[in-house]
Amino acid sequence: MPSFRDPIKSGLNEYYGKLKESVEGLTAEELLWQPSPDSNHILWTVWHMARVADRWANSTVLGNGELWTRNGWAAKLGMPEDRYGRGETPAQVRDFPSVDIELVLEYYDEAHASVLAMIDALEQSDLDRDVYAEYRDESLNIGWILGHILSEESQHLGQVAYIRGIQRGFNG
């Protein structure tokens, strides 16, 4: 009998596969191109997506600290440990370091795997449990968090695909 885990993991894996397809073959210039001075670029968006997955799964739900600091990804990518992407100014996005997309995707691979492992560890009853999201200073329901991850990450995938499409045309 299918569990609640199956459709959630299917959605997570689908958007992650599409994200990898969307960035495949892009040049460093294309990854940093912004449609307007106040827009995010692809590299920043992919990095932020990895941070979102990592923070929600590892810090908020599991409470075991983000991979970003615990596994040294901040240092590997040459960024401050407290950098997350939420509320950043257009200037901060423009000044984002030109890091290798493959390294960002390695971090995202680890974060994505941790989200899937978190889901495997959850029971149906956990979906009704609240956890404290320190960076938001509020308690949130784990079921809501799972839906939010799918929604936010899918929206960001759309942004990445749209920017790629502006530059290179439709990517099916």
18-40 average pLDDT score = 95
Q: How many domains does the chain have?
A: 1
Better pLDDT: 66 or 1: 66
**What is the distance between the alpha carbons of residues 15 and 10, in angstroms, rounded to a whole number?**
9
Instruction: Extract the tokens encoding 169.
Output: 């045309």
How far apart, in Å, are the Cα atoms of 118 and each of 22, 54, 84? 26, 11, 20
Q: What is the mean pLDDT of the chain?
A: 94
- What is the Cβ-side half-sphere exposure of residue 111, based on CA atoms within 13 angstroms? 29
Tell me what pLDDT residue 123 has. 95
CATH assignment at residue 44: 1.20.120.450
Express each pLDDT in 73-86 by its tens digit: 999 999 999 888 88
Tell me what pLDDT residue 171 has. 56
pLDDT at 29 over 80: yes
Q: Is the pTM of this model over 0.85?
A: yes
Three-state secondary structure string covering 23-50: HCCCCHHHHHCCCCCCCCCHHHHHHHHH
Tell me what pLDDT residue 169 has. 79
Domain span including residue 137: 5-20+29-168
34-44 average pLDDT score = 95
pLDDT at 94 over 70: yes
Express each pLDDT in 103-124 by its tens digit: 999 999 999 999 999 999 999 9
